[in-house]
Amino acid sequence: MKKELSNALIYPPVLCPLALTLDVIGGKWKPLIVHLVSQGVNRFSLLEKQLPGISRKMLANQLRELERDELLTREIFAEIPPRVEYSLTETGLSLLAAVMPLYEWGVQHLAHKQPRHTAIQL
Amino acid sequence: MKKELSNALIYPPVLCPLALTLDVIGGKWKPLIVHLVSQGVNRFSLLEKQLPGISRKMLANQLRELERDELLTREIFAEIPPRVEYSLTETGLSLLAAVMPLYEWGVQHLAHKQPRHTAIQL
DNA sequence: CGGAATCCCAAGCGATACTG
DNA sequence: CAGTATCGCTTGGGATTCCG
Which residues are CB-neighbours of A121 under 8 A, at least 6 positions away? A50, A52, B9, B12, B13, B14, B15, B16
> CB of A115 within 8 Å of any CB in chain B?
yes
Question: Is residue B100 domain-resident?
Answer: yes
Other beta carbons less than 10 A from residue B23's beta carbon: 21
* List of A residues 42-101 with CB within 7 A of strand C: 43-45, 56-57, 60, 63-64, 74, 81-84
Inside any domain, residue A61 = yes
Note whether A77 contacts B: Cβ–Cβ < 8 A. Answer: no
Has residue A76 been placed in a domain? yes
Q: What residues of chain B lie within 8 A of the CB of A97, using their CB?
A: 101
Q: What percentage of chain A reaches a pLDDT higher than 70?
A: 82
Taking alpha carbons only, the member of B34, B22, B33, B63 closest to residue A106 is B22
CA-based nearest distance A7→chain B, Å: 9
A79 pLDDT tier (thresholds 50, 70, 90): confident
Listed as ranges, residues in chain B with pLDDT below 50 are: 1-14, 117-122
pLDDT attached to residue A3 = 44
Domain count, chain B: 1
Assess A84–B contact: CB distance below 8 Å, yes or no. Answer: no
The reported pTM is 0.85
Could you give the maximum distance between any two Cα atoms of chain B, in Å?
60
Query: Is A9 a domain residue?
Result: no
Question: How do residues B88-113 score in pLDDT, each as one tens digit?
Answer: 999 999 999 999 999 999 999 877 65
Which tens digit of pLDDT belongs to each residue from A92-113? 999 999 999 999 999 999 776 5
Task: Give CB contacts under 8 A, 24+ apart, made by A54-59.
Answer: A54/A29, A58/A29, A59/A29, A59/A33
Identify the CATH number of the domain in which residue A59 sits.
1.10.10.10
Q: Which of A11, A104, A101 is nearest to B99 (CA)?
A: A101
Cβ neighbours for A106, distance < 8 A, ≥ 6 positions apart: B16, B17, B18, B19, B20, B21
Domain of residue A77, residue span: 17-113
